[in-house]
Chains A and B, each alone.
Chain A
Amino acid sequence: MPSYSEYTEYAEYTVGEPIKDERAPAGPVNERWDTRRFEAKLVNPANRRKHTIIVVGTGLAGGAAGATLAEQGYHVVQFCYQDSPRRAHSIAAQGGINAAKNYRNDGDSIHRLFYDTVKGGDFRARESNVHRLAQISVEIIDQCVAQGVPFAREYGGLLDTRSFGGVQVSRTFYARGQTGQQLLLGAYQALSRQIAAGNVEMHARTEMLDLIMVDGRARGIVARDLVTGEISTYFADAVVLASGGYGNVFYLSTNAMNSNATAIWRAHRRGAYFANPCFTQIHPTCIPRSGDHQSKLTLMSESLRNDGRIWVPKAKGDTRPAAEIPEEERDYYLERIYPSFGNLVPRDIASRAAKNVCDEGRGVGPGGQGVYLDFADAIARMGRKAVEEKYGNLFDMYERITAENPYEVPMRIYPAIHYTMGGLWVDYDLQTTVPGLFAIGEANFSDHGANRLGASALMQGLADGYFVLPSTINDYLARNPHKDEVDASHPAAVEAVRETEDRLTRLLAVDGDRTPDSFHREIGELVWEFCGMARTDEGLRKALDRLPQIREEFWRRIKVPGTGEEFNQSLEKANRIVDYLELAELMCLDALHRAESCGGHFREESQTPDGEAAREDEEFSYAAAWEFTDTGAAPVLHKEQLTFEYVHPTQRSYA
C-alpha cells in the first residue's frame, strides 16, 4: 500500500502514487516519435532469432505485430482461440480506416487528424500517443495497398475516401462495408507467409489463461488447448497481448460471441494496471434486439449516417408505419439539435440523443427501443443504384436479420456496446506496468481517450501492430537480456499452472443449477442498466452491491457439464465469466469515482444545461490506472495526469 493512501468516503479503493509515462520524449510533438525511435536501442539482426516473443491474438494488432516481428527476424509464438487466425473479430469492422493523406485536398493534415482524435476523445488521451497515431496513419494505407488490400477506387484508378462521424474532412479509406475483413486478411496473409517460413509458431484454438512472471518480468503464459483440454506453458523474452477489448462484459454487444477479457484480466491480476475501464463506447447504429433470445447485436456501419437521415415521430406513442407519418410530423432530431454536424455527430452524442428520444416515448419498433435511419432522400438524390453500390451489403444484412427491406422502409437502429476505450495501461512504448508485457490494439487504453472516433480502431490496431510495437519492443529486448532460461519446472510456472487447473476443476465441481449463459446475461443486463449509456451515483452503487452477490451465487450454482480434458465450450464460457465478474466491478467503480461526464462516460449528475456531457477538467484530467489487490478487495488508483500543450481542452461542441 502506498504510504499516503486514503480511503475515500463512498467506495472502496485507495489512492496510490501517481503514474507517469516515462517513454515519450520531450520536444515538439511532431518530433517525438522520431526521437523515440532513434533513442531506442536496437537488437542486432543476427541475434533476433534468439529472442522469442509471445503474441496473444491475431486481429489487426496481433496479426500485424506477429507478421512484422517475424519479418524482422524474431521467433514468434502466437495464439488465438479461433480455429484460424483469419477469424479474429477485427474482421467484422465495416466502415473504414482513417489516414491523413489529404488526397481530397480538403484541408486535412496529420495535425488535423491529431486534433480531431484528441477532441473526439474528449481530452482524456495522451497527446504524444495520438500524434504518433496520426503520423503513422499514412504509412498504414501504403502498407495495406502493397499487400493487395482491395480498397475502393475511383475510375481513374486512385483510392476513394469518404467522411465519417465526428469529422468534416474525407479521410476514411474503405473496402465497401468490409474494410476490417480486408485489412485483417492482409495481416493474416502476411502472418501466413511467416508461418510457412517457420518464423511464427501458430497455435490456433488455444486460449491464454494466465501470465507467468519471473523476477518481476513477463516471461510466459499458461494456455489451454481448446480441442484436447491440455494445459501447457509457453515461455518467451516478452509477451504481447493483442486480445481485444472487454465489451462482452455487457453480454449483448457487437463483439464476437467468444471475444473475452481473460488475457488482459489475468495480466491485470498479475500486476498490469488497468486504465479507464469505464470508458466504453456505445455505437449508435446497431440493429435493435428482437427478443429475449438475442445472443448478440449487429452493427450497421456508421458510414450509413453519411447519407441516411435519423428521425423519430414528433408525437409520443405514434405507432403509424413510417410511410404514413408526414414530413412535418417527423423530428430529424440530430439535424435539429446539431445543425452543423447533423447526422455526423460523434458516436456518444448520437447514441445519447437516441436514448433521450426513446426515453421520451418517441422510439419506434417493438418496445419503442429504436429510431429510424431513412434512405428515402438519398435514394431520390443519388438513385437506388448508387446507394446499392455504397451500402448494398449492409442493406442485405439488415434485411436478412429483420426481414424488412431498407430500400422501401426506413431502417430501425438503436445503440449498442461496440468498443472499449479502456484497457491495460501502457506507456508510449506500449509496455504495461509489468516489464516485458506489452498491450496493443483494443487491449490497451492508449489513444482514444473517453471516446473513439469512427474508423480509428482499425488505424490504431494496425499502427500498434505494424509500426509502433515492432520499434519499441527492440528497446526492451536490447536492454533486458535474459540470462536464465525458464521452463515448465520453474516455480512460477508450476504455480500458475496449478492455479489455472484449480480454477477449472472448481468450475466443473460445483454442479449447480444455472448455466454459464444465464450468469453472463445477468451481469450484462446489470452493467447495461447501471454502467451503460447513462450512469448515476445511485445506480453504480447498486451495481457494486449486486456484483459480489452474483459472484457468490456463481460459485454456488454454476453448472458446467463434461470434463476439462476435452473440447468443452461450456467450460470456456464459465471460465471467462469468472473474469467478467471482477472486471464489471472495476468498471462500475471507475465509473463511480469519475464524477464527471466525458466522451462515452455520461454521468447524469454532470451535464450542461442543454444536456451535453460536462467535463470537470480541474479534478479529472487524468487517466485512472487501477492496481489489482485481491478479488473483492479495494484496488489502488494511480492517476496519470494529462497535459495538453497543443489541443486546448474546450467543451466539445458539434452544434
Chain B
Amino acid sequence: MKLTLRVWRQQNADSPGAMATYQVDDVSQDMSFLEMLDVLNEELILKGEEPVAFDHDCREGICGACSLVINGDAHGPERTTTCQLHMRSFQDGDTIDIEPWRAAAFPVIKDLVVDRSAFDRVIQAGGYITAPTGSAPEAHATPVPKADADYAFEHAECIGCGACVAACPNGAAMLFTSAKVNHLNVLPQGSPERETRVLDMVSQMDAEGFGGCTLTGECATACPKGIPLFSITAMNKEWLRASRKVKR
C-alpha cells in the first residue's frame, strides 16, 4: 500500500503547529497503525529530519498511552486503540489525517503527544478506596453479588487513554470520571466513601478545565473499551444523591 499522511507537527507546547504531508510507500496491511508510523519515522531519521513524536507503550491495547485522532476519529475508524488498529482498515492510495487529542485540558507537548495529567488528578481527588496495606479483612468476609462485581469490572476496564475527551465536542471527561465512580461505588468496599468520592472527583474534573456534558454520546462511541453511555447518567444519579446527603 502507498499512503499520503498529513500529520500535525508542533515543536513544543509554546510554538504553533501545522499539518505536514508525507508519503509512505511499502505499507503492509498486516502492520499496525503505529508500525506504519515507525516506517515513516525510520525514513525521516535517515533523511536527517525529526521523527514524529507520539505516545505509545504496550502496543496491545491496554496501557492507554497511544492517542491519535485519525481522520477526525479518536483512535481511528475501528472501535479499538490506535495500537490495535491495523492497516487493513485502509485502502491503497488513501490520504490519512493524523492529529493529537484535541482538548483544552490536554495541552500538546510535542507533535502528537499531549499532557493527560489532569486524569491523574481526577483520580487523586477520590478515585480510590482507602484501604492501607495490612488493614484488609479476609477476602471472603464480604461476598459481592456477581452482577455487582461484573458491573464494577465493566467500568474498571477504562484504560485512561482520553479518547472520550478527544471525541467530545465539549472536551468533557464525564465518561472517564463516571467509569471510576461506578466501579468503586457499586462495591460494598467502596460504599463508605461513596458520596465524597463522586463529589470530589466531579469538582476536580471541573477544575481541570474539562467541558460540560451535553450527552452527545460521542465519548461512548469512541471508547476502545466500550464503557457504556449509561455510566454518565449513573454518575449523575450518584452525584445528586450525594449532594443531597452531604452538606458541603
Q: Which of A's residues lie within 8 Å of B, judged by CB?
A: 64, 67-68, 71, 82-87, 89, 91-92, 101, 103, 139, 141-143, 145-148, 150-159, 175-176, 178, 181-182, 185, 188-190, 192-193, 195-196, 202, 204, 227, 254, 256-259, 290-291, 293-296, 298-299, 397, 400-401, 403, 466-467, 470, 513, 515, 517-518, 559, 561-562, 566-567, 569-570
Contact = CB atoms under 8 A, between A and B. Distances in A.
A156 B140 CA distance: 11
B109 A567 contact: yes
Contact of A83 (B58, B115, B132): B115
A568 to B, nearest CB: 8
Interface string B29-69: 01110110011001011101111010111111111110000
6 contacts: A103-B140, A145-B139, A152-B153, A154-B146, A467-B133, A561-B49
B46 A559 contact: yes
Contact of B120 (A64, A86, A151, A291): A86
B137 interface: yes
B64 A400 contact: no
B211 to A, nearest CB: 21
Contacts of B120: 84-86, 192, 195, 202, 204
B123 A189 contact: yes
B189 to A, nearest CB: 5
B113 A148 contact: no
B129 interface: yes
Contact of B184 (A148, A176, A204): A148
- Find the residue from B11, B55, B153 having the highest chain A CB count within 10 A: B153
A92 B58 contact: yes
A86 B39 CA distance: 28
B140 A298 contact: no
Interface string B124-164: 11011111111111111011111001101100110110000
Contacts of A71: 132-133
Nearest to B49: A561
Given A227-B109, A293-B38, A561 B50 contact: yes
Nearest to B135: A146
A627 B145 CA distance: 53
A296 B56 CA distance: 12
Contacts of A145: 136, 139, 142, 189
Given A86-B160, A561-B45, A293 B35 contact: yes
Contacts of B140: 103, 158-159
A227 B156 CA distance: 29
Nearest to B153: A150
A156 B56 contact: no
- Find the residue from B62, B78, B125 having the highest chain A CB count within 10 A: B62
Nearest to A193: B128
A178 B62 contact: yes
Interface residues of B, number: 78
B134 to A, nearest CB: 8
B17 to A, nearest CB: 14
A147 B131 contact: yes
B246 to A, nearest CB: 19
Given A397-B60, A567-B110, 7 more contacts: A86-B160, A101-B139, A143-B133, A146-B189, A147-B129, A150-B183, A159-B140
Given A64-B133, A256-B59, A84 B160 contact: yes
Contacts of A147: 128-129, 131, 136, 189
A530 to B, nearest CB: 25
B116 A182 contact: no
Q: Which 10 A-B pairs have the closest CB atoms?
A: A157-B143, A189-B128, A146-B136, A196-B124, A146-B131, A150-B153, A290-B30, A142-B136, A150-B152, A256-B57
A181 B62 contact: yes
Contacts of A195: 120, 124
A547 to B, nearest CB: 23
A89 B58 contact: yes
Nearest to A196: B124
B128 A190 contact: yes
Interface in B5-37: 11-12, 28, 30-32, 34-35
B131 A190 contact: yes
Interface of B is mostly: loop
Contact of B59 (A142, A146, A295, A403): A295
- Find the residue from A258, A295, A298 having the highest chain B CB count within 10 A: A295
A257 B57 CA distance: 5
A298 B61 CA distance: 10
B231 interface: no
Given A295-B38, A298-B60, A515-B46, A84 B116 contact: yes
Contacts of B145: 153, 157
B242 interface: no
B88 interface: yes
Interface of B: 11-12, 28, 30-32, 34-35, 38-39, 42, 44-46, 48-51, 53, 55-65, 78, 80, 84, 86, 88, 109-110, 113, 115-117, 119-120, 123-125, 127-140, 142-146, 149-150, 152-153, 156-157, 159-160, 183-184, 187, 189-190
Contacts of A466: 133
A142 B130 CA distance: 14
Contact of A401 (B84, B131, B142, B184): B84
A152 B32 CA distance: 31
Contacts of B46: 513, 515, 559
Nearest to A393: B157
Contacts of A467: 133-134
Contact of A192 (B115, B124, B189): B124
B65 A87 contact: yes
Contact of A193 (B56, B78, B124): B124
B153 A175 contact: yes
Nearest to B51: A570
A295 B146 CA distance: 39
A446 B128 CA distance: 31
A174 to B, nearest CB: 11
B117 A148 contact: no
Nearest to B37: A295
Contacts of A570: 45, 51
A466 B59 CA distance: 28
B75 to A, nearest CB: 12
Nearest to A86: B160
Nearest to B180: A189
Contacts of A141: 139
A139 B136 contact: yes
Nearest to B61: A397
Given A148-B190, A256-B63, A567-B113, A182 B48 contact: no
Given A159-B140, A176-B153, A295-B35, A561 B57 contact: no
Contact of B86 (A68, A83, A401): A401
Contact of B32 (A82, A151, A155, A295): A295
Nearest to A471: B134
B129 A189 contact: yes
A139 to B, nearest CB: 7
A196 B127 CA distance: 11
A89 B38 CA distance: 21
A148 B129 contact: yes
A83 B117 contact: yes
Contacts of B49: 561
A257 B134 CA distance: 34
Contact of B31 (A82, A293, A403): A293
B139 A84 contact: no
A68 B32 contact: no
B203 to A, nearest CB: 13
- Find the residue from B39, B46, B58 having the highest chain A CB count within 10 A: B58
